[in-house]
Structure 1
């Protein structure tokens, strides 16, 4: 479901609720929130202890009565009440008060491609709980394409790949709409998990949770490319003794370990291209694929796609912000609708 540009221009703020990070764009003020989608709760009292970056740092380091939760999974709100509480804290009292003064407050939100009605309803209820009288839903693929400057309104093919934490979405766009799309349940978290399992089985080493997300710790230099460093040192906990230990990891073995989740992404790209009209595929041979999303920065991922597809692969300038910047451009009226006038009247 994607709202019209006219409806989006009436919105006052937009939210991109991602599995990894939450971003909020306020009309006239720009991006006001860019924080991890994490909250820490006191299970004894139910009180909210921390949100965002501070809550993420608490992961794996809390006593028994503090629970670190992620109210968003795969772009879908799984805990509406907690998502509302987290957003209230992230937005802050001052911004929230200024938004509440707006008559008939309207909001916009990103939803994954082909999100089911329950997922759409959860996103709407989350923002209604913040005071929104009406919520417009925008497909993440459309918002990201607009945010990275793709000419989505033209009668020519553009291909975008949104690399999220929990899923990867691939689509071919033309005339402002999605021609063919595929949602693959493989994202940055699956790649992280493949690395963790490799280190556990091959080196009997457990990585701390904070060392998993920045993949550069495990894949320094050129990372996934064969030209990268032959080995890198990793610090973790010995599975048997529980003591701290460092091991030298062969990066070629790590590359092989993450081939399985990345192969699923390649299969998804192939399926989209096979089901796409031949004229649009011919356009893509020159324009290639635009990668957006936080996981697009995985070292060497773009080169691997280039070699596998034979197509040009580009990474957006600020890939992690493309979706929310696209929503912001629609709110501010910077995107003009295409007018079809075949009679030249």
Structure 2
């Protein structure tokens, strides 16, 4: 479904949801962004009770007794546990917000879906929101929602290229006249980069990292992180694989950069494929306009610099890259996006 075809339906929606593998965001018409929390829930396996959701549940990761399980109901932009996703959303929204939404006659919702999401994945998203009381659910491609959210002129007859860097997947597309001309979805994202770093430290230094400390490590590589002018080495604390004792090692940042090249190369391959499939006139536009990066993983230190060097194109990061998709949905709900009017006769 193209965003332009359903702008009229989207204006009738009361709330919009961006269910991501890393974070869940909810936009309510007239109230703005009301939820921006990690997509995590903690459950008591003895009685099935929900103990915590969002940030509090994420802090429990790797620190729970065996009867408490920390679950992620969304994986790769797809809802994998509908019931748990509904319970998580209910708690994140809170009683007051749920009551005010339920008062609306014929409650309508909008949701982002990854590009080329299969019918089962789309069905799971719809079921999740129907369980929250929505009578009708409109689906919008994440790429279009993100492009609208970061202010790209998607409805014009000129090319705009957007790179959505998610936790579980990276999507890239060329947009023109309000629709996707060509797009690719790569199954690597911020989590794949994290895993590459963790495996490198395990193999090279026999060090196991706590689950919460991969992000700070990426920031420690800052000083244009992924590029060579960062710090030469950084100290990392973790657990020794053999003895199980706490230990700190001095890690060579050049070796870490080398370790994360594999997932990043996959992203580059996707960008090259989209450019190859794109009409020459639009590629000429992109030489000036460049690539707009959105999504939480767009803030990976030095990623924009690496893409600039590899493609020779200008690369920009959106102002608030993490909330662009849900902001785009919100703009469509509030009627801020003008539909494209094709009027060749000027009648």
TM range (shorter): over 0.9
Aligned residue in 2 for 1:6: 8
Cα distance, 1:218 vs structure 2: 4.6
Residue 59 in structure 1 maps to residue 50 in structure 2: no
Preserved CA contact (<8 Å) 1:220 1:232: no
- Structure 2 residue 252 is matched with structure 1 residue 250: yes
Match among 137, 142, 145 for residue 144 of structure 2 = 142
Q: Which residue of 2 aligns with 1:133?
A: 135
- Deviation per CA, 1:183-240: give whole Å up to 9, x if none: 0001000000000000001111000001123443552332111111001110000011
Deviates more, 1:52-61 or 1:204-213: 204-213
SS at match of 1:92: helix
SS state at 1:192 partner: helix
Unaligned segments of structure 2, at least 5 residues: none
Contact 2:219–2:301 (CA under 8 A) maintained in structure 1: no
1:259 aligns with 2:261: yes
2:27/2:326 contact within 8 Å kept: yes
Tell me whether 1:25 sits opposite 2:27 in the alignment: yes
Residue 208 of structure 1 is matched in structure 2 by 210
User: How does 1:223-238 map onto structure 2 within 5 Å?
Assistant: 223-238=225-240
Q: Secondary structure at the match of 2:203?
A: helix
**Offset of 1:69 from its aligned partner?**
0.2
Match of 1:171 among 167, 170, 173: 173
- Structure 2 counterpart of 1:38: 40
1:16 corresponds in structure 2 to 18
- Of residues 284, 289, 292 in structure 2, which corresponds to 1:290? 292
TM norm structure 2: 0.98
Pair 1:331 & 2:333 matched: yes
2:317 maps to which residue?
Answer: 315
User: Per-residue deviation at 1:101?
Assistant: 0.1
2-structure distance, mates of 1:307, 1:171: 19
TM-score, normalised by the number of residues in structure 1: 0.99
Q: Matched residues in 1 for 2:222 and 2:138: separation? A: 41
Identify which range, 66-75 or 219-228, moves more after superposition: 219-228
Could you tell me which residue of structure 1 aligns to residue 71 of structure 2? 69
> Number of paired residues?
345
Match of 1:47 among 12, 32, 49: 49
Structure 2 CA distance for partners of 1:110 and 1:215, relative to 1, 3 Å: farther
SS of 1:45's equivalent?
A: coil
Q: Identify the residue that residue 101 of structure 1 maps to in structure 2.
A: 103
| 1:336 partner SS | coil
- Structure 1, unaligned runs of 5 or more: none
CA distance change for structure 1 residues 331 and 342 in 2, over 3 Å: closer, same or farther? same
- The answer (yes or no) to whether the contact 1:211–1:217 under 8 Å persists in 2 is no
1:267-309 CA distance string (max 9 Å, x none):
0000000011000000000000000000000000000000000
Deviations 1:96-136 (A, max 9, x none): 00000000000000000000000000000000000000000
Aligned mates of 1:246, 1:64 — CA distance in 2? 28
CA contact (8 A) 2:28 2:34 kept: yes
Separation in structure 2 between the aligned mates of residue 336 and residue 268 of structure 1, nearest angstrom: 31
Cα root mean square deviation, aligned:
0.8
3-state DSSP of counterpart to 2:92? helix
| SS of residue paired to 1:220 | coil
CA distance in 1, matches of 2:322, 2:220: 21
Among 198, 201, 209, which residue is 2:200 paired with?
Answer: 198
Q: Is the 8 A contact 1:207 1:235 kept in 2?
A: yes
Shift of 1:247: 0.6
Paired with 2:233 and 2:305, the residues of 1 have a C-alpha distance of 20
